[in-house]
Structure 1
Amino acid sequence: MMEKWKAQSRLLVGGLFLVCFIYILNSPAINQYVSFVKGQPVTATVEGDLLRKIDGILEQKQVPAINARIDQVWKAIPGYNGLKVNREETIKRMLENGEWDDQKIVYDEVEPEIGLKDLQPSPIYRGNPQKPMISFMVNVAWGNEYLPEILNTLKKYKIKSTFFLDGSWVSKFPEEAKKIIDAGHEIGNHAYSHPDMKKLSMNRIRLEIEKTNQVIEKEIGVRPKLFAPPSGSFDQRTVELAAQEGMFTILWTLDTIDWKKPAPSTIIQRLTPQLANGATILMHPTASSAAALPELIKAAKLKGLQMGTVSDLISSKRVQSIE
């Protein structure tokens, strides 16, 4: 008799916690537990119904993963991880607090079935439009005098970017290249001699890419995973040869056109309205972009956008908007 009483007591305590969940969620199933509290024995069917009810609520909180795909306009679009509720950890948290709180739901990220590497080689112009992140991509073949200001601004705002380096520039200025990598930024390949890639032979395309990778690896100890064709000029051969080297071909969503030396205010006024999920912003080490960068960063933050490297942007990993 005593053991039976203990067993019923344990069921009662567990039932009361579930009552709290269901009550806060305004579930009709509360009546079933009210009956139990009054002394009616709980059945496996009642428990099962309530657990299914909770599972149904948690199911609604889940977010499906988005597969990478080829878009007619934007070409390769990265996927975006989904969210699956960790049922056990979520219920454990709710029991600890004695109440339902959506903020305490525990999620696990779920990768898409199709990622960028599963697609045919294709240029990437932007990140996933559901990802509240942008990336500043800086192509470097000249402009050493403006690099310190850009690096200082990025440091001030604790932002990492991707610098696509011209191979001949790295050969001439290895110490400048080291300053970029030492600051924690990502390094990409910008070909060796700033050629028009689509006008080159297959062998020359391969040479431009390989030689740049070799000099970057020799001078600063990293092997680029991203390739940005000079002046944005490329063809499918370029994309495929870069892919053979294990590299994605990166273009841009928004262009500062800073090589025309516009006023910084012109860059800010033109680009700010267009800052949006997944955007890549092209710039060079110029006076115009160096001066405009702080305001672009502030504008992005006001829009709830995080900022990171191009690799961060095109990964499927989820990020939270800046509040």
Structure 2
Amino acid sequence: MVISFRGKLLKSKLITVFTNLVLVAVVLAVSFVGYLGGNTVAASNENSNLFYCAENGEGVSLMFNVYEHTDNVNKIMDILDEYGVKSTFFIGGSWADDNVDCVRDIFRRGHEVASHGYFHKDHSAMSEEANIEEIRPSVKLLNMICNTKIKLFAPPSGAFCEATLNACTSMGLRVIMWTRDTIDWRDKDAGLIYTRATKNLKAGEFVLMHPTDCTVEALPKILDYIRENGLSSVTVSYNLGE
């Protein structure tokens, strides 16, 4: 009986230790996940240079990641002008190089211009040096085109790692993610894009979009929803208090 009791006691202690180890592993995993919607990579969620939203933001930030569809970029700007609102355009350097006039027009109309890298690469697989080599040329190009300081970087596909954050910190860039992704690059459904962009939308949120045909179709309704619900559409930097 004594041996049986000791055996049960030892088994109980082992189970407790194992359970605690599992809990520790879960906590560590949650603390170091940079992005759960695409490539999952290690990155501290305590990094002061990483933003998924504006915690004290006064409005909603519509973000457009641009590497193609120049005609739709122009249509989006026309719609934003019609509603009298401003947005942030995260622009790929390779696209900017071929569309200098459009980039300049985005800035001239009062929108925020930010970096989306140069060649739409996977930043989660890069060293700090490689991240700098990919991001810096786009920043320099956008600086030159718009004659303004570029302050923000959005990693393509939301893929980044600790090296990306360190690289951006060294270049004075904030890394911007999002609270909701319309997935408009994949799902060609204006109604679905509208729902993803607006359902339970709150001030301080960052909404990710691309210049697709369906986004152009959905955008007026999205802006109507924002206005009718007492919200405002503002740039990311404005939402972050700059």
TM range (shorter): 0.7 to 0.9
Is this contact kept in 1: 2:126–2:164, CA < 8 A?
no
Is this contact kept in 2: 1:132–1:304, CA < 8 A?
no
* Higher Cα Rg, which structure: 1
Instruction: Say if 2:53 is the partner of 1:126.
Output: yes
Cα deviations across residues 134-176 of structure 1 (Å, max 9, x unaligned)? 1001111111121121001100111111101111111111111
Equivalent residue number for residue 273 of structure 1: 199
Secondary structure of the residue aligned to 1:282 is strand
Q: 2:153 aligns with which of 210, 224, 227?
A: 227
Cα deviations across residues 229-279 of structure 1 (Å, max 9, x unaligned)? 011000111012101111110001111101014211111123322311211
Equivalent residue number for residue 135 of structure 2: 209
Q: 1:186 aligns with which of 81, 96, 112?
A: 112
Q: 1:159 aligns with which of 85, 88, 104?
A: 85
Equivalent residue number for residue 237 of structure 2: 311
Aligned length: 202
How far apart in 2 are the matches of 1:236 and 1:312? Answer: 26
Q: Report matched runs for 1:141-180 at 5 Å.
A: 141-180=67-106
**CA separation of 1:132 and 1:245: change in aligned 2, threshold 3 A:** same
How far apart in 2 are the matches of 1:124 and 1:291? Answer: 28
Shift of 1:74: 10
**CA separation of 1:74 and 1:272: change in aligned 2, threshold 3 A:** farther
Identity %: 32
How far apart in 1 are the matches of 2:219 and 2:169? Answer: 31
Q: 1:248 aligns with which of 155, 174, 187?
A: 174
Secondary structure of the residue aligned to 1:258 is coil
Cα deviations across residues 83-125 of structure 1 (Å, max 9, x unaligned)? xxxxxxxxxxxxxxxxxxxxxxxxxxxxxxxxxxxx8444200
How far apart in 1 are the matches of 2:127 and 2:33? Answer: 26
Is this contact kept in 1: 2:115–2:154, CA < 8 A?
yes
Cα deviations across residues 204-225 of structure 1 (Å, max 9, x unaligned)? 2111111111111222212210
**CA separation of 1:233 and 1:220: change in aligned 2, threshold 3 A:** same
How far apart in 2 are the matches of 1:262 and 1:196? Answer: 24
Q: 1:295 aligns with which of 213, 221, 232?
A: 221
TM-score w.r.t. structure 1 length? Answer: 0.59
How far apart in 1 are the matches of 2:64 and 2:212? Answer: 10
Secondary structure of the residue aligned to 1:222 is coil
How far apart in 1 are the matches of 2:184 and 2:32? Answer: 24
How far apart in 1 are the matches of 2:57 and 2:175? Answer: 20
Q: Report matched runs for 1:6-25 at 5 Å.
A: none
How far apart in 2 are the matches of 1:137 and 1:278? Answer: 13
TM-score w.r.t. structure 2 length? Answer: 0.78
Secondary structure of the residue aligned to 2:178 is coil
| Misfit runs of 4+, over 3 Å | 71-75, 119-122
How far apart in 1 are the matches of 2:110 and 2:33? Answer: 29
Higher RCO by CA contacts (8 Å cutoff, separation 6 or greater): 2
How far apart in 2 are the matches of 1:296 and 1:139? Answer: 17
How far apart in 1 are the matches of 2:48 and 2:57? Answer: 22
Is this contact kept in 1: 2:128–2:166, CA < 8 A?
no
Aligned residues: CA RMSD? 2.0
